[in-house]
Each structure stands twice: as structure tokens, then as C-alpha cells.
Structure 1
């Protein structure tokens, strides 16, 4: 029988996950408020989303240790809807967003996230690290009563930078002396005590907005439930569902690699969909996985569902009972934490790939990272996957070759090797010389594969050239699909039922 785990190890695991949950909750407060303000909704709308989405995905999702909540990638999509139609339409949109994510999970489409190429993953990680880093500089600005915005300068700037430096120093140095408490939590507590104890004048969480409130209450979005409303909210819901799932499943993949474990994408998509539907009915702005907070959690060693559930419970307790104290936390402490998260998230090893890795992989990584920074994650990943596919097709197209020999009766034999598809058609046609070839020419496809309609057209075109030149073309080892779909070359096919391959060709005529 396996040995039962000792109670000290269970206690340490509970302590790690609970303290990490507290740390993550503290780091989520300013971001939830900031994202709510970006979306033009109240701070509590962002905090309620963080509470509900975090708890539901942690309890029922497919990736223990991953943290979800109100996310900036979603907030930038929401703002246009809220400005034009109001917050009630946002709640209706989040309901539809959740339903679309549930459909995605029901269709078991989460497996396709495994097809994202590694250069795209590297670009995603590095792009988000830079986004996290740059986002913190918004806290270095001050908005005045007349609406004007200025950067911090003088003593306030030096104070902010000094506190950030103290936070970063504690995070990196404390683990050398003790790991009894997460260094991020210790840094937040020490910096807060310094600010409060010495009465230092610096920006705090309270400057972003009050987080005091009650329990979220159930209400149905106050919109007309008709086709006109659907036409308004559906485009936003579709984009939000896609962005949320892409960020979540890529973060899940990243955590899988970091922890050498395997999450369950479809279960996570289902939990996120359910969480968003419920959140919308309780006044939340919806959410998805948050890579910054997830990295804090994973780096603390918190890999259990308890950490995410604890994050949610701590957040709710802040709203209900501890808003006065949480609002006293200096923003510098939380900025320092996120700077460290950005540094640890960035894959510094990618800098060594320049000049070593294939140029196309480096280009894809830079493309995804750049688009993530200047546009959004969904656009970046889609662009990266498309470019990767095109690069693959281009490189694969070069691999179609032909070994040429002369038969005993003077016929010329082309032993074809590679895949014949839309990208390799030009290279395929360049292999042959109809005007100078002998009367009888054999093309043997035994080591080749005809993939799509473009390949069939290329073979038909080649057959027409040989026929026009008065030559006899013999086509060997083509599949049954090819034999049925070819037109000009059909009478040139030599059928061998025992040796002909049995693969299928991608062509609508067979559907």
C-alpha cells in the first residue's frame, strides 16, 4: 500500500496555497479596478468578475493553479459596446459569450490549442510579458480634476521608484533566507507597513477607486430580448469568447510546460463558459485566465485548486470587510510585483536563438510578440498560426523532387518524391520537359502523394502538354480518388489494384 502523506506536508501544502491565494488576491485588486475603468464600468463590476470567475474556474476547471478573472484583453473589446449601448448590454453579451464557450467545450475543440506552433507560444509569452511590464506605467500618471493627465515627477516619482525597488529587492532576496512565507506577500506587507508607519505620501489602491461593497446580487440584464439585441451583442460576444479562450488555453499550455503536467482544455473552456454566464447575472464583467496572476501562483508553488478558490474568497472578504485596509496598500508594491512577474514570464532564452534558430521561426515569434503589444492576443495568435502554416507550406513545397532514369525500351521514368499540393505545383511542373522528352514518359507516384485539387489540375495540365507534344504519358501508383477526379489524364493512368495507394484527396467533388 502507498504510504499516507504526512500531516506536516499536508499543512505545508495548505499554507502554500492559502498564502499564495492571498498574494494573488492583493495583486488582482488594482488590475480588476483598472480593467473595469478601461471598460467604462464601476470598479465593483471588475471585482465581482474576479471573485466569481476565479472561484468557478478554480473549482471546476481543467488546470489547477491557473488564476482567472477580469482581464485587460477583454476590457479593450468591451469599451465600445458599453459606450454605445450601456452596461446592461455588456451583461447580456457576457451571457452569450459564456454560452459560445460552452458550445466550444461541448464540441471538444480544445485539443486544437495543441496545434499552436512553438514559435507562436514564445511570441505569446514574450508579448504578454512586455504588455504586463508596460501596463504598469499607467500608474505613473495622475489625472487631474479638469481631466488632464500628467506624469509623476520630482519627489512623488522618486518615492514611487524607491518603493518599487524595495519591493523587487525583497522578492528576490527573501527566498535566500526563508521560504516560510511567499516573498511577494512579504514584500507587499513590508512596503505597506513602511508607507503607513512613516506616513509616506504615495499613490495607493484607494486612489483607483473604492472597493467597498456588498455581496453580488442576481439580476437579469435589462435589455430587450429580441433579434435586434442579438445583432448588437453577437459580434462582441464572439470576439470576447475567442479572445478569452485563446488567452486561457495558451496560458494553460504554458503552465503545463512549466510544471510538466497536463491540463484539460475542454474542461477549462466549459468552466470558463459557465463562470461567465453566472458572472453576468451577478453584475460582473466576465473574464478569462490571467497570465500575470497565474505566474505569481505557479512561482509560489501553488498548484492546487485551493489557491484559486482562496483568491476568490480573499477578494470577496476585501470587498465586504477589509476595503479600508486594502485601499491603504501602495501601488508601488503591486507594481513591483508585476515587474517581477513580467521578468519571470519573459523567455530570456529566446534572445539566444538569434542566428541559431531558423529565421522563419524567429520571425514568427517576433511577429506574434509585436502584434500582441500593438493590437491584441487573438489577432497575434491567429496571425502567427497563419504565417507558420504558410512558412510550412513554402518549405514543404521545395521538397518535391524527381529521380530520373531511362527504361530498357528507351522510355523516360520520373520517380516522384514528396507532396504535390497548391504550394508545390510550380516546382512540380518545372521538373518536366515535354518538348524534349522521348515518346514514352512514365511518372511514378509511389513515393509521392497528391493532396488537393490544385495538384489534380497540375497533373491534368501536364498531361495536356504531353498530348499536345505528341508524347505518351503513363501515370502509375495514383490513388482511387486521383483516378476518379483527373480529367485530361484519366486515360493515361495505369491501374494496379495491388500496389496503388489508398489515400484520399481533398476535393469538393467527392463530398
Structure 2
């Protein structure tokens, strides 16, 4: 007894949540089913009500069991009703018999479920969110208009076969009873949002329509008879052997369908699967935000697909995770997937056991509900696109999708929308600039700090080496633009560097263009230098491997791959300076007067300074100082190399930011401001250093003020030159 009590306490919220969700899902499912089947023939409305109940039952029972989202309620939904209604209307217009239409819709539902399962199993459920917004907006607006057009005759109580515009302009076709019932239903739904927050508008609307029907029936005896009454849904015919015979006969007929007929449904099934998947995942995302959870899109889509396939197999309507019923479920205390199962069970009990009551639901009331649903599906946000010339073409995509949906078909609307969106995307890509920045080596520098004489030579001859920093996508749409930017340099430059750090993708057309650039440069013995050639692009492609397969194989003369732009600039600098290799490691270490900081000074003035210096030998990999060290020493490089490693932005990893070689000094900032080190110094080639500590310098400053002044003056001058050069580079980067 205690275990039962504990279980009930844990799942009582699920029970009440599922029951409340059923009150929302059942009337809507019946309405959607009637809408679809009444589009085939008004006498099929009862089959539609049954299809809605069976669909809600199957989705409610199976989707929670196999899905991964707690509290999600799945049931027949507006997108399914819209697509199937439009599908039925098209077939009716082609003269297809009602029986055949029912069979095709059953197969369409099964194919839709199988496609959703495939999407989930393959793992591309997350890609559905990349369907362009103008396509979804235009599609839903078109579907909303189709719903409105299909429901207007039913709303007005017009005879079978009345077209929507006839129902609008010919009052003599109206049945005032149906008009009154539909009008009250729609008004109740619209006003319920303002005055009632706890009860869903669908329930309020149907109750208001049913009350209106009862009031009119009190005055009209013909409305109190079920048989032959075209104002209500009618008998469901779902009891016992009748239902078994119905499904058995339907499957016998499906077995006789030709493969070509089934194949012709693939396009519609893909469209319906995409819409139902979007509807489900949109509901899951909102549910995640409200409950601070995370759903599994692929598992959920596979479960929804299985439920839709089973629902269609037993004669029900397909559906999706629905927003209204899910939010009611959540607000009623549901905690787990058990609430969805409760919803499915209660739909079966209420819908089938109390089917006699469902039979009395007024068709005009359901039409009123769907008119409101159709109006709410129309997306008015794209109208804002007309306010700016830059977004008019985006609005044209929405308009084209709506027009295609209304006058051609929903499949054509999807195709038109996707094609136009691709064209707009290509327009934006082609219009964008793939050259982020153009500069020359004379304006930029590598991570090497070089003596003044070398810097002057680089400034003099650096404009013969051109750098293009590329960005975005290099594909057939931007290839010609890039070639036009490169062409003027191909006949004059001595070095051409193309930096690919910010390139997102490269196609074969762009790779072929780069091969052409290589061939033109090679005629002048000029290499094409490609820097930052990543092994993995955002699209998953190995860029280096792709370029090599396209013919851009590094060979040391025609094509060079450099790991970074700094490395490419360093390679070019060495050739401009005429120093192909690094400094000769066999040369003896520099003496104090040979170091750049003291060049031009009289040797005898440095004798006392030399006594304050410590000679230190370092091996490759030795750390001279680290980030945060209270090291205020000044280091002079007699031979070898030292790399400075620092943090960039908030990245905790250290990056190479400078290299000091023979004759240079480093550590000057901490020597002047006595603050902790902001970077690390690591020996990259066996080095001999002179080290001047702050303590020794203070003693020197007391005894030999002239020498101390000379040192500080030279140090400040060199740091100022470095700062000026850095400032010029920052200005260049900012201007571009």
C-alpha cells in the first residue's frame, strides 16, 4: 500500500498533466482529421474524426515510449492537416476517386514516418534547423491560406463542391445555422486569449460551437437527428468488426497499388516529414528552455517517425510534438514521459468509448477552429522586409513560396523556396569581399626583431612581397573576383603570399584558379606561398590534402605551404635580406660593444658595465623566465635564439609572439617598470646571454651615472622604435 502511495505521488502530476493535455489534443485531432477527410468528400468526415482519434492515440502511446523528451505531447497537428488537405484537394481536382485518395494518404503517412526514422537514425536531425526562414515562413503562410480556403465553405454551411470564393460572394449559398455556429466558435477562440488563460482556446471554441448548436437544435427538430445530418461529424463506425474490416480492406487495396504510385508520393512525404520534424523540434527547444533540460533530436525524430508510421498503418493521422498540448501538460504538473502515455490512453478511452458524443461535434465549429488556426499560421513578419531595399528580395522568396503553394502545389513551393534561397545565398557570397586585407612585407613584420639596418632594408624592398589575407568561401562564385584582385600583382611581385587562416571552404574551381596563379608566377621563377593551410576546415574537409589533390603540391620552388602568416613573412624577409638560413651557429658569441644596444659606444666606457653582467649559457628548451615571475633582469643575446611566448586574449595557451636573435635584447619592460613578467622566454636554439640584474644596475647607477644614463637612453630609444613599428602595424590592421 505504501509503495502504491509513493508511486501515485511521483506520477500524479503526470496523470493530471496527461489528462489535461488530452482535453486539448483530442478536439484538435478530431478537427484536423475532419478537415482532411472532408476535403475528399463531406461524407468522409466521420472517417476523419476516427483518423484524428487513432492518430492521437498511437502518437501519444508510442512517441513517449521511444522518444527522449520528458513532458512532450505528440498528436495530429496543423502542418499535417494542411499538407494532407492540400494533397487531397489536388487529387480531387485531378478526378481521383475518394477511395484511392484515402489509400494514397495512408501510404503517404507511412512513408513520412519512415523518412523521419531515417533522419533520426542517420543523425541529421539537427540539420533541419538550417532550412531557410523565408522558405518555412512562406510555406506555413501558404498552408494557412489553403486551410482558410478549404474551410470557408464549411464555415458558411455551403453545399458540397462550393469553392471558397463562391462561399464569399454568394450569400444565397450560406446556411445561417452553420454560419452562426462557426462564427461563435471562431469568436470564442479569438477572445479566449484575452479573458481566459487556463483553458485552451480550442476547447473553448468547440464548447461554444456545441452550445450554439444545441441552442439552435432546440428550435429546429432536424438538427436533433444524427442520420443524414450534414451539420455534424456523424457516426465514427469504429466499433468491433466494422473497424477491422475497414483497415483490412484498406490494406488489401494498398497491396494492389503500383510501385510508380508509391514512388510518386516520395516528394510529398519528404515535405511532410520535414514540416513535422521542424514542428517537433521547435516544441522541444521551447520545452528545454522552460524546464532547463536538453532533448535528443535524432532519437526524438526516430520515435516520432515510428509513431507516425504505426498511426498511418492503423488508419490514423500523422502528427508531431504539439506546442499547445505540451504547454498544458507542463503547467498541469507533468514531470516525465509517462504523461504522454496517459494522454494517449485517455484519448483512446474518451474518443472511442465516448464516440457517440464526438459524432455530435458540429462541422462548422471545427471549421471555425481551423480558420483561426489557418490565420495564425500566416506569418506577417516578412512584411517588414518591404521597408528596406536590401531585404526586398528576401520578401520575394516568401511571396514566391506562397504563390507556388496556392497555384501549383506544396511540393513545388518547397522546391521554389529552396532554389530561390540558394540564389540569394550565392548573391550574398558573390557580393562579399574574399580579400580581407592586402599589405606588403615592408608594412608587416614577422615575429623576429631585427637590427635597424635590416629593418631599413625590409622597408626599402618589402613592397616587392605582397600579402593577401583571404576570408570566407572560395568557390565558383568568388573565384573571378579573387583573380581580378591578384592579376595586377602577378607580373610585378617577387613574392606572393596568400593567407588562408579565415577561409571557410574551397571548391575545385577556386583550386584550379590557384593552380593558374602558380603557373603564371612560375614563369618568372616566383613562388606561390600559401600560409595557414589548415588540415581541417569547418566543413570537415582537409584543406591541405584537397589542395594537393587539386595539383597544388608543395615542391620548394613553385608552391610553398607555411604553417602561419608570420612564418611566411619570416621566410620572405630572410630572402630579401640575403640570409637564407639562420644566423651562423659557428660564429663566436658577441662581445658587449658588438651588441646592437651599444653599437657606437666607446669600448672603455663599457668596461665598468661589463663587470656587472653575468654570462649565462642556455640549452634549447630552457625557460629563461615564465609568466608571473618577479624577474626584472635585462637579457642581451650574444648568440642563439630566444622565443617570447604570451597569451592572446583570454586564451590560456601560450602563443609565439616574438623571436630575438644574435645582437638583440629582451626583458626590457620589466627592467623598467619592475612588474611581474607578462610572458615567457624560452630558448629555441642554444644561446649565450649577458644578464644584467636590477640590483647590479642600481649599484652601477650610483657609481657610474653616465654609463647608467647611456644604458637607459639606448634602451628607451630601442623600445620606442619597436613601439613605433608595432603602432604602424596596428594602424594598418585597423584601417583594413
Partner of 1:252: 280
Is contact 2:46-2:234 (8 Å) kept?
Answer: no
After TM superposition, give the deviation of residue 97 of structure 1 in Å.
Answer: 4.8
Query: What TM-score comes out, normalization by structure 1 length?
Result: 0.76
Partner of 1:187: 205
Superposition pairs for residues 48-59 of structure 1, below 5 Å?
48-59=50-61
After TM superposition, give the deviation of residue 121 of structure 1 in Å.
Answer: 4.1
Aligned pair in 2 of structure 1 residues 194, 35: CA closer, same or farther (>3 Å)?
closer
Deviations 1:101-124 (A, max 9, x none): 333322222121122244444444
Partner of 2:449: none
Superposition pairs for residues 36-435 of structure 1, below 5 Å?
36-38=37-39, 42-43=44-45, 45-61=47-63, 62=67, 64-68=72-76, 71-74=81-84, 76-77=86-87, 79=91, 83=97, 86=100, 91=106, 94-95=109-110, 97-139=112-154, 140=156, 142-143=158-159, 151=167, 153-154=171-172, 156=174, 159-174=177-192, 179=197, 181-199=199-217, 206=231, 210-215=235-240, 216-217=243-244, 219=248, 221-222=251-252, 229-236=258-265, 238-256=266-284, 259=287, 260=289, 263-282=295-314, 284=315, 286-289=317-320, 294=322, 296-297=324-325, 306=339, 310=343, 313-314=346-347, 317-319=350-352, 321-323=354-356, 325-355=357-387, 359=391, 360-375=393-408, 379-381=412-414, 383-397=416-430, 398-401=432-435, 402-405=437-440, 408=461, 411-419=464-472, 420-434=474-488
After TM superposition, give the deviation of residue 386 of structure 1 in Å.
Answer: 4.4
Query: What residue ranges of structure 2 are gaps of 5+ in the alignment?
Result: 1-5, 443-460, 534-543, 568-736
Query: What TM-score comes out, normalization by structure 2 length?
Result: 0.55
Is contact 1:461-1:488 (8 Å) kept?
Answer: no
Aligned pair in 2 of structure 1 residues 476, 30: CA closer, same or farther (>3 Å)?
closer
Is contact 1:124-1:381 (8 Å) kept?
Answer: yes
- Residue of structure 1 aligned with 2:499, choices 433, 445, 470: 445
Give the Cα–Cα distance (whole angstroms) in 1 for the partners of residues 182 and 313 of structure 2: 38
- Residue of structure 1 aligned with 2:558, choices 485, 492, 495: 492
After TM superposition, give the deviation of residue 444 of structure 1 in Å.
Answer: 2.1
Partner of 2:609: none
Give the Cα–Cα distance (whole angstroms) in 2 for the partners of residues 96 and 177 of structure 1: 42
Deviations 1:326-385 (A, max 9, x none): 343333333332333344444455444542695154444444444444455555455444
Deviations 1:408-434 (A, max 9, x none): 165241423213222211211110235
Give the Cα–Cα distance (whole angstroms) in 2 for the partners of residues 473 and 267 of structure 1: 52
Give the Cα–Cα distance (whole angstroms) in 2 for the partners of residues 124 and 265 of structure 1: 22
Partner of 2:29: 28
Is contact 2:157-2:178 (8 Å) kept?
Answer: no
Is contact 1:251-1:289 (8 Å) kept?
Answer: yes
Query: What residue ranges of structure 1 are gaps of 5+ in the alignment?
Result: 502-511
Give the Cα–Cα distance (whole angstroms) in 1 for the partners of residues 325 and 320 of structure 2: 12
Is contact 1:17-1:307 (8 Å) kept?
Answer: yes
After TM superposition, give the deviation of residue 96 of structure 1 in Å.
Answer: 5.1
Q: Is 2:509 the partner of 1:454? A: yes
Give the aligned CA root-mean-square deviation in angstroms.
4.5
Is contact 1:16-1:300 (8 Å) kept?
Answer: yes
When structure 1 is superposed on structure 2, of 101-110 and 479-488 the one drifting more is 479-488
After TM superposition, give the deviation of residue 455 of structure 1 in Å.
Answer: 0.9
What SS is found at the alignment partner of 1:422? coil
Give the Cα–Cα distance (whole angstroms) in 2 for the partners of residues 312 and 376 of structure 1: 36
Deviations 1:133-186 (A, max 9, x none): 333214136346xx7776362494555444444334433445666556444323
Residue correspondences, number: 487
Give the Cα–Cα distance (whole angstroms) in 2 for the partners of residues 85 and 30 of structure 1: 21
Q: Is 2:505 the partner of 1:474? A: no
Give the Cα–Cα distance (whole angstroms) in 2 for the partners of residues 302 and 132 of structure 1: 29
